[in-house]
Amino acid sequence: MKQLARIILAEDDPADARLALDTLAEQKLDQHTVVLADGLQVMDYLYARGRFRNRSPGHPMVILLDVKMPGLDGLDVLEQIRSDPALRYIPVVMLTASRQERDVRRAYEFGANGYLVKSIDFDACRASLLAFGHFFAVANEPPPGSLQPPRTP
């Protein structure tokens, strides 16, 4: 049985996914992250169906969701998650290249818990991704039914 991941990273650009994983690796969170390339795979993972039917049960601690993905895009996925009572409390953070107010507002209207901008400034990107990982996959108390953070006794 495959281990449930703490973080779902939905990102269709393999280079961006790689950079994000490299950064998360600094906190050893890369091994707790599953990278999915589009919205359908995210829904399959959440419902443990298709190639994910053998994963261990429960919800991830957080989903980092690229807005622009082929097919089912980030906002579509967010909408589906928020409309299913079983999934609606999973923390979702949007990941996008756009800082436009319209896009930010839409993300929050759809019920996002956070909004990370893929900045051209690598250091800024790295810092916000590290802060994200530490908060959502280590420090935060996730909603019941989610994977629990590792506890130090």
Partner 1 sequence: MNNSVNILLVDDEARNLDVLESILQVADYRLVRAQNADEALHALVSESFAAIVLDVRMPGMTGLELAQLIKQRKKTQHIPIIFLTAYYQEDEHVMQGYVAGAVDYLSKPVNPDILRSKVAVFVDLFRKSRALESEIAERRAAEQRVRDLNDQLAMRVTELGSANSELEAFSYSVSHDLRAPLRQVVGFANSLKKVAGDNLDARAAEYIPLIQDAATRMGRLIDDLLEFSRVGRTEMVQENVNPRTLLDQALQTLQPGAAGRRVEWQIGPLPEIRGDPAMLRQVWANLLDNALKFTRPRDCARIEVGCQSQPAEHIFFVRDNGVGFDASHANKLFGVFQRMHARDEFEGTGIGLASVRRIIARHGGRAWAESYPGKGTTVFFSLPRPIEAQPAVLQA
**What is the DSSP code string of 16-61?**
HHHHHHHHHHTTT-GGGEEEESSHHHHHHHHTT-GGGTTBPSSB-S
Place of tokens 């980092």: 64
Per CB under 8 A, contacts with partner 1 among 81-120 are 96-98, 100, 118-120
Residue 128 binds to partner 1 (criterion: CB under 8 A)? no
Residue type, 117: V
Residue 28 binds to partner 1 (criterion: CB under 8 A)? no
Q: Annotate 71-83 with b (16+ C-beta within 10 A) or e (fewer).
A: ebbbbbbbebbbe
Residue 27 binds to partner 1 (criterion: CB under 8 A)? no
Binding range to partner 1, per CB under 8 A, among 16-24, 37-45, 106-114, 134-142 = 16-24
Minimum distance from CB of 123 to partner 1 (Å)? 8
- Binding site residues, partner 1, CB under 8 A: 13, 15-16, 19, 22, 68, 96-98, 100, 118-122, 125-126
